[in-house]
Chain A
Amino acid sequence: MSKLTSKTAIQWLFKMAWRDGKASISRLLLFMASIILGIAAVVSIQLFSENLKDNIKNQSKGLMGADFIIDSKQLPSKKVQAIIDSLGANASEVNFVSMAAFPKNEGTKLVKVRALEGEFPFYGDLETAPASAAATYQKLGGALVDATLLLQYNLKPGDSIKLGKLTFPIIGALKSIPGTTAISSSVAPTVLIPFRFINETELLQQGSRKEYQYFFVAPPTMDIELLAKKLGPVLDTENADIDTHTSTSARLGRSYDNVGRFLNLSAFIALLLGCIGIASSVHIYIKEKLKNVAVLKCLGATRKQTFLIYLLQIVGIGLIGGILGSAIGVGLQYAFPYILKGFLPFDIQIAITATPILMGVTLGVLMSVLFALLPLLGTWYVSPLEVLRGTDDHLVKPRKARLFTLAAIILFIFLFSFWLLKDAVNGLLFTVGILITFAIMAGVSSLFMKAIKKYFPSNWGFTTRQSLLNLYRPNNQTMVLILSIGLGTFLISTLYFTKDILLAKTSVENRTKDPNIILMDVQNTQKEAVINTIIPKGLEIIDNIPIVTMRMQRIKERLVNDIRQDSTSEINSWILNHEFRTTYRSELIASEEIIAGTWVQQMQPGEPILISIADNIAKDAGLNIGDVVVFNIQGVLMETNVGSIRKVNWANLQLNFSIVFPAGVLENAPQFNVLTTYVPNDASSADLQRDLVQKFPTISILDLRQIFTIVEDVLNKIAWIINFMAFFSILTGIIVLIGSVRNSKYQRIKESVLLRTLGAKSSQILQITALEYVYLGMLGSLVGILLSLISSQLIATLVFKEPFIPSVVPFLVFLPGITLLVLLIGLSNIRSVLKSAPLEVLRKEG
C-alpha cells in the first residue's frame, strides 16, 4: 500500500529531496541564478511602478498646488470670466516665455515668467532660499528666480533681473514650485513675479504665446470631478479648460507609460530568458538524476514518490530563488528614484509593499515548476530497467502530458505578458510572436541538419567532417542549442532594437551650419530692425518664417462646437481645441514630402484657398483632399480646402508646420515672425542675445546649443535606465547560454574521450569541438538577430508607434560576441578531456 498520505512518508520525501539536493547544490546554481535575475527584474519594476502610482496619487494636490485649475491661452471670454467669478478663484497667474536680462553681468536667458496674484500654492511648497522669500516677494514687489539659473549667472538675492521694460530686485532663489520638472525648468527656468507689474513690463502682446491660469481651493464637500464633467464642455467651447488635481495626476501617470512599458518589457524578457534558463538547467539536472530515479524505483519507490522528490527540490529552489530575487528587487528599486530624478516633478518616497514581493516569490515557484515540468516528466516515465540496461533508449516520451505542459507554459506566457503590459492584444501578440519565433528556429535548425546531410562535403578533412557530423548524428544537440542560443539572442537583440526606437524618438542631431538661434515673437513692425541688428554682426538670417495663429471653426460641414458635443465623432479632441500656429510659403522644405494632392505655391484670385496639411492632421481630423476647413483667425473666419497632404519629418529640431497656406493669403493677417540664424560660439551668442534683449525686450530667444546639451543629458539618463534594465536580460541570457551549452557536454565528453582513446591529438579534439560550437553559435545568433528585426519592426509600429531604423550593432557585436561565448563555454566543457587520462575522465563522468 502506498503510504504517500501518511506523515512519515511525506517527511521521507522532504528528507530525500534535501539529501539529494544538498549534494547537487552546485548543479542547481545555474537554475537558481536564472530565477533570481528574472524575479529581481520583475519585482523591482513592479514595486517601483506601485510606488510611482502611490506617490502621484498622494501628492496629486501638491503637484498641482490647488484642487483645480481653469486655464486659457487667451484672456478669458465673458462666459469663462463669469464661471471663474462664480467659483471664486483663490489665485491666478499669467505665464509666458520671455527673455530675461541680468544687469549685473549683462547676461540674458530665455525664462518662463509666472506672474502670480494670490497666495499660490495652496498645497505643496514654494521652496525658496531664503525660506522667507516665498512669503515676502509679493509684498516687496520682487522676483523669485530659479535657483540653478542664479548659480549659472553668478547671481544672488539682492541682484536684479530685467523682464521687458521693468527691472525687479531678486528676492530669493526658487528651489521648487508645484508642477515643474527639472527638465522643463532647464529649458526655460521659472521666474515668479507679482501679477500687478505685468502691464508695466509690456511683455504681453497680441499673438504672443501665454497662458492664463486660475487656481481654486475646493470646499471639502465639493465633487470636483462632477464639476469638471459639467464645466468641461462649456469651457471647451470658449477655448478654456478645467484640470483637477486627480485628472492631472492621472495624466502625469500616463506620461510615464512609455518608460513603464519599456521597463515592463525588459522585465518580461529577463523573465522569459530566466524561464529558458530554468528549462535548460533542469533538463541537465534531471538527465543526471534519471539513473537515481531508476534505482529508487528498483528499491520500491513509486512513480509519484520519485516525481515528488525532484518536484520538491524544484519548488525549494524556486522558493529560495524567488525570495532572493525579491530581496534584490526590493534593493534595486531604491536606485530608480536616482535614475529617474530628472524626469519626475516630485520626490519619490519608497515604500515596501507586500504584493510585489509575494508575487515575486509565487512567480519564482510557479515558473520553476512550470518550466521544469517537461524534464521532470522524465522521472515519472523512467523505467527501473534503466539500472540493468544503462541506456535511456526505452524512455517513454509521454505525448499527452508533454502537450498539456506546453499548453500550460503558453498560457503562463500569455497571462504574464497580459498582466505586465496591461493589454490583452499586446500580450497575445507577444505570446504568438514568441511561439512563431520558436517554430521558425526549430524549422531553421531542422533544415540546417537536412542540408548538411544532403550536401555533406565528403572530401573535407577529418576534423571538419567530424564537426559537421556532430550536428546531425543521433543524440545531436543542434535543435536544442540553436533554439536556446537563437531565442536568447532574439530577445536580447529585440531589447537592443527597442532601446534604439525609444532613443531615436528623442534624438537630435547637432549639425553645424544649421540654425542654432531661434528668435520668436518677432512682430512685423520689429522685423526689419531685428534683421539690421543681426546682419552687421556678420551673421546671416537663415529662416524668416511668418506665423499666424488660428483655430478650426468648422470641419467639412460641421461646426467644431457641434463636433465637441458628439460623443460618436471620430475626430481627435485635440484638433478641436488646438490653437494652430500656421505659416504661408510657396515652396516645400527639406523635411516635407507630398503624399496626396498637389502643392499649391500661390493662391489664384477667385480660386478656393488650397492649404497643405500634415498626415497626422489628416488622420486625426478625418480630412481628405478637397475637404473644407474653416479657420477662425483671431475673429475672422476663412474658408479653405485641403489641397495636399504632407508627410513631415518631425524628428529634427526644425521649424515644421502641420498646416501651411499658399503665398498670397495670410500676408495681411495678424502675425509674428520667427527668425533663425547660426552663431559660431558662446561669445557671439551672448553678444547677439544681449543686443537683442536690450533693443527688443519682447522677443524670445532660444539658444539651441543649450537645448542640445539638455537633450543630450536627458538622452544619457534614458540610456542609463535602458542599459540598466538590459543588463538583467543580457546577464540572464549568458546564464541560459552556459546552461544550454553545458547540456551538450555529456554527449560530447564521451565521444571526445573515445576519440582520445583511439589516438586523437588534443588539437584535433579541440578543432572538432571548436568548429561545432562556432557553427551552432553563428547560426543560432544570426537567426535570432534576423528574427528580432521583424519583432522590433512590429514593436515600433504597434507599441511605440515610431519608425524603426535598425542599428548594425547586433550584427557587429552580438553575432561575433555570442558565437565567441558559445565557443568558449563549449571548449571549457572538454577541458577535462584534454587535461586528463581517458580512463580517469570516463570514470568521473560515469
Chain B
Amino acid sequence: MSTKILKIHDLEKTYTSGSKKLTVLSAISFDIEKGSIFSIVGPSGSGKTTLLGLCAGLDHPSAGSIELCGSNLQDLNEDERALLRNKEVGFIFQNFQLLPTLTALENVIVPLELQGEKNAAKVGLELLEKVGLFDRVHHYPSQLSGGEQQRVALARAFSNKPSILFADEPTGNLDEETGEKVIQLLFQLNKEAGTTLVIITHDLDLANRTQQILRLKGGKIMSNEKTVAVS
C-alpha cells in the first residue's frame, strides 16, 4: 500500500489569451507522504495558488497527472472530484471564505451535512469548542473578527476528518499575534487528526516549521527539501 497521498507527475498549466500562450507551471513533479506537513513557497506569480488549485482538483492541468488519495483526478468528472473533496480534502483560505449567510456552526457543519452525517451539529459544536468559539456558534461571519473567522474556517476544515488539508496563506489576512495563534491551533488540530497538511505561504518562518518545503519560481520547482521541523 502506497504511503503517498498526493503524487504529481510532470504537471503543466498554460493559459491561452488570444494567440498567446502563457505557461504558468511546467515540469512539476513531487509526492507528499501521508500525515506529513508540507509547504509550498515562492514569490508572487510563481504559480503557488495555481498548483494548489490543481492539487485539490479545482482546475484541470494542461498536461501531466495528479493522483490524490489514490484517485487519478484526470479520470474524474466535476462532480466526482467534488465528492472526493468532500470526503478527503479540507481547505483553509487566506480570506476565510465563510458563507456570509450561515452562522458559525452552520458553516462548520456544511461538509458533514453534504456527507449526510446525522450528528453534524454535535461534531460542529465540539470543533467550535476546540477552537475556543463555543460562545459564538450562532454568530454570522460579519459579527466575528478576522481571527475568529479563521478559527471557524479551521473548525470547518477539520469537520469532515479530511485525509489532506490545503491551507492557502492561512495567516495572510491576520496580524502577527493572531496569525501565530491560528497556526498553533492548525498544527494542534492537525496533530490530533493525523491529517496531511499542505500550506502555501510567503512566510519562510512558517515554512520552516513544516517537514518539507517546495520552492517555486516562474512556474518551475527550484527545490524540494526536507527540513527539521520546529512546530
Q: Does B140 contact A (CB under 8 A)?
A: yes
Residues of B within 8 A of A296 (CB): 99, 110
Q: Does A46 contact B (CB under 8 A)?
A: no
Given contacts A305-B114, A384-B58, A385-B53, contact A292 B79 (CB under 8 A): no
**In whole angstroms, how far apart are the Cα atoms of A16 and B93 in the complex?**
22
Point out the residues of chain B lying under 8 angstroms from A300, CB to CB: 82-87, 89, 111, 114-115, 160
A residues 80-126 near B (Cβ < 8 Å) are none
Binds B, one of A2-10, A267-275, A759-767: A2-10
Question: Within 8 Å CB of B52, what residues of A?
Answer: 388
Is B91 among interface residues, defined by CB-CB distance under 8 A? yes
A20 touches B (CB below 8 Å): yes
Closest to A297 in B: B82
A724 at the interface (CB under 8 A from B): no
Please, which residues of chain A bring their CB within 8 A of the CB of B56?
A: 298
Q: Give A291 to B93 CA distance when docked, in angstroms.
A: 13
Classify the interface of chain A: helix, strand, loop or mixed. helix
Question: How close is A820's CB to chain B, nearest CB, in angstroms?
Answer: 34
A304 CA to B78 CA, complexed, in Å: 11
CB-CB under 8 A from B99, the residues of chain A are 20, 292, 295-296
Binary interface profile of B, 22-60, with partner A (CB < 8 Å = 1, else 0)?
Answer: 000000000000000000000000000100110010110
**B90 nearest CB neighbor, chain A only:** A299
Cβ of A769 within 8 Å of any chain B Cβ, yes or no, is: no
Q: Given the known inter-chain contacts A19-B106, A300-B83, A302-B82, please indicate yes or no for A388 contacting B49, CB distance below 8 A.
A: yes
Q: Is the CB of A385 within 8 A of B58?
A: yes
Q: Mark A12-38, 1 if CB is under 8 A from B, else 0.
A: 100110011111100000000000000
Asked whether any CB of chain A lies closer than 8 Å to the CB of B18, the reply is no
B30 to chain A, nearest CB (A): 20
Is B49 a contact of A301 with CB atoms below 8 Å? Answer: no
A581 CB to nearest chain B CB (Å): 75
**B193 interface residue (CB < 8 Å to A):** no
Assess whether A299 is in contact with B111, with CB atoms less than 8 Å apart: yes
Could you give, for residues 793-825 of chain A, a 1 whenever the CB lies within 8 Å of some chain B CB and a 0 otherwise?
Answer: 000000000000000000000000000000000
Q: Which residues in window 127-146 of B have CB below 8 A to A?
A: 140
Residues of A within 8 A of B100 (CB): 23, 292
- The CA-CA distance from A292 to B140 in the complex, in Å, is 14
| CB atoms of A301 and B82 under 8 A apart | yes
B94-117 with Cβ < 8 A to chain A: 95, 97-102, 106, 110-111, 113-116
A227-242, CB < 8 A from B: none
Which residue from chain B places its CB closest to the CB of A387 in the assembled complex? Answer: B97
Q: How far is the CB of B116 from chain A (nearest CB, A)?
A: 4
Minimal beta-carbon separation of A152 from chain B (angstroms) = 67
Contact of A2 among B83, B95, B102, B113 (CB under 8 A): B83
Complex Cα distance A624/B160, Å?
89
Check A20–B83 contact: CB distance below 8 A. Answer: no
Judged by a CB distance under 8 angstroms, whether A835 is at the interface is no
User: Given A20-B102, A23-B100, A23-B102, are A1 and B93 also a contact pair (CB < 8 Å)?
Assistant: no
Tell me, yes or no, whether A389 is within 8 Å of chain B by CB. Answer: yes
In this assembly, does B20 line the interface, its C-beta being within 8 Å of a C-beta of chain A? Answer: no
Verify if B118 is at the interface (C-beta below 8 Å from A).
yes
Which B residues are CB-close (under 8 A) to A6? 116
**In the complex the two chains form, what is the Cα distance from A288 to B62 in whole Å?**
30
Partner of A389, one of B49, B85, B87: B49
Whether B110 contacts A298 by the Cβ 8 Å rule is: no
B49 x A19 contact (CB < 8 A): no
8 Å CB interface, B113-167 against A: 113-116, 118, 140, 156, 160
| A745 interfacial by beta-carbon distance below 8 Å | no
CB-based contact B114/A12 at 8 Å:
yes
Would you call A303 an interface residue if the criterion is a C-beta within 8 Å of the partner chain's C-beta atoms?
Answer: yes
| Cross-chain contact B53 with A299 (CB below 8 angstroms) | no
Q: For window 674-724 of chain A, which residues contact chain B by CB distance below 8 Å?
A: none
**Given the contacts A20-B101, A388-B49, A298 and B58 also touching, CB distance less than 8 Å:** yes
Is there an interface contact between B85 and A298, defined as CB atoms closer than 8 Å? yes
A4 and B15 alpha carbons, distance in the complex (Å): 34
Q: In this assembly, does B67 line the interface, its C-beta being within 8 Å of a C-beta of chain A?
A: no
Query: Which residues in B have their C-beta under 8 angstroms from that of A2?
Result: 79, 83
B12: Cβ under 8 A from any A Cβ: no
A339 to B84, CA, bound (A): 64
Contact at A299–B86, with CB atoms within 8 Å?
yes
- Nearest CB in chain A to that of B93: its residue: A387
Q: How many residues of A contact B (CB 8 A)?
A: 35
Residues in chain B near residue A9, CB distance under 8 A: 116
* Chain B residues with CB below 8 A from A484, complex form: none
> Which residues of the partner chain A approach B84 to less than 8 Å between Cβ atoms?
300
Verify if A431 is at the interface (C-beta below 8 Å from B). Answer: no
Complex CA–CA separation, A302 to B53 (angstroms): 17
A383 within 8 A of B: yes
Residue in A15, A21, A305, A388 whose Cβ sees the most chain B Cβ within 10 Å = A388
The smallest C-beta distance from A839 to any residue of chain B, in angstroms, reads 14
Contact of A388 among B87, B93, B156 (CB under 8 A): B93
Which residue of A23, A383, A385 contacts B101 across the interface (Cβ within 8 Å)?
A: A23
Q: Is the CB of A388 within 8 A of B58?
A: yes
Q: How far is the CB of A28 from chain B (nearest CB, A)?
A: 11
B110's closest neighbor in chain A, by CB?
A: A299
Q: Once the chains are docked, how many angstroms separate the CA of A305 from the CA of B79?
A: 10
Q: Binary interface profile of A, 376-406, with partner B (CB < 8 Å = 1, else 0)? A: 0000000111011110000000000000000
Are A8 and B116 interface neighbours, CB within 8 A? yes
> Considering the chains assembled together, what is the distance between the CA atoms of A49 and B43 in angstroms?
72
CA distance A16 to B114 in the complex (A): 10
Chain B, residue nearest A15 (CB): B113
Q: Which residues of A lie under 8 Å from residue B160 when comparing CB positions?
A: 300
Question: Contact partner of A3 among B111, B116, B140, CB < 8 A?
Answer: B116
Query: Which A275-330 residues have a C-beta within 8 angstroms of B?
Result: 291-292, 295-305
| Minimal beta-carbon separation of B117 from chain A (angstroms) | 9
Interface string of A186-213 (1 = CB under 8 A from B): 0000000000000000000000000000
* Binary per-residue interface labels of chain A (759-792) against chain B in the complex, 1 for a CB within 8 Å, 0 otherwise: 0000000000000000000000000000000000
Cβ–Cβ < 8 Å partners of B113 in chain A: 12, 15-16
Q: Which of A21, A295, A305, A390 has the most CB of B within 10 A?
A: A295
- Give Cα A300–Cα B85 distance, bound, in whole angstroms: 5
Complex alpha-carbon distance, A300 and B86, angstroms: 4
Q: How far is the CB of B45 from chain A (nearest CB, A)?
A: 13
A52 to chain B, nearest CB (A): 46
Bound form: Cα–Cα A22–B160 in Å: 26
How far does the alpha carbon of A384 sit from the alpha carbon of B59 in the complex, in Å? Answer: 8
**Contact between A385 and B59, CB atoms less than 8 A apart:** yes
A307: min CB distance to chain B, Å: 11
Given contacts A385-B58, A388-B52, contact A298 B101 (CB under 8 A): no
**What is the CB-to-nearest-CB distance from A34 to chain B, in angstroms, rounded to a whole number?**
22
CA distance A298 to B168 in the complex (A): 13
Residue of A nearest to B111 (CB): A299
- Report whether A295 and B97 are in contact in the complex, using a CB–CB cutoff of 8 Å: yes
Q: Nearest B residue to A293 by beta-carbon distance?
A: B99
CB pair A304 B79 closer than 8 Å: yes
Tell me, in angstroms, the Cα distance from A139 to B58 when the chains sit together: 98
Closest to B57 in A: A384
Chain A interfacial positions (CB closer than 8 Å to B): 1-3, 6, 8-9, 12, 15-16, 19-24, 291-292, 295-305, 383-385, 387-390
Beyond A303-B78, A385-B53, list 11 extra A-B contacts (CB 8 Å): A20-B101, A21-B101, A23-B140, A298-B97, A299-B85, A299-B86, A300-B115, A301-B86, A302-B78, A383-B59, A387-B58
Q: Give B residues with C-beta under 8 Å from A.
A: 49, 52-53, 56, 58-59, 78-79, 82-87, 89, 91, 93, 95, 97-102, 106, 110-111, 113-116, 118, 140, 156, 160, 168
A sample of 24 inter-chain contacts (CB < 8 A) reads A9-B116, A12-B116, A16-B110, A20-B99, A20-B101, A20-B102, A23-B101, A23-B102, A23-B140, A292-B99, A292-B100, A296-B99, A298-B56, A298-B58, A299-B85, A300-B89, A300-B115, A301-B82, A301-B86, A301-B110, A302-B82, A383-B58, A384-B58, A385-B58
A-B pairs, top 4 by smallest CB distance, nearest first, are: A300-B86, A23-B101, A302-B79, A300-B85
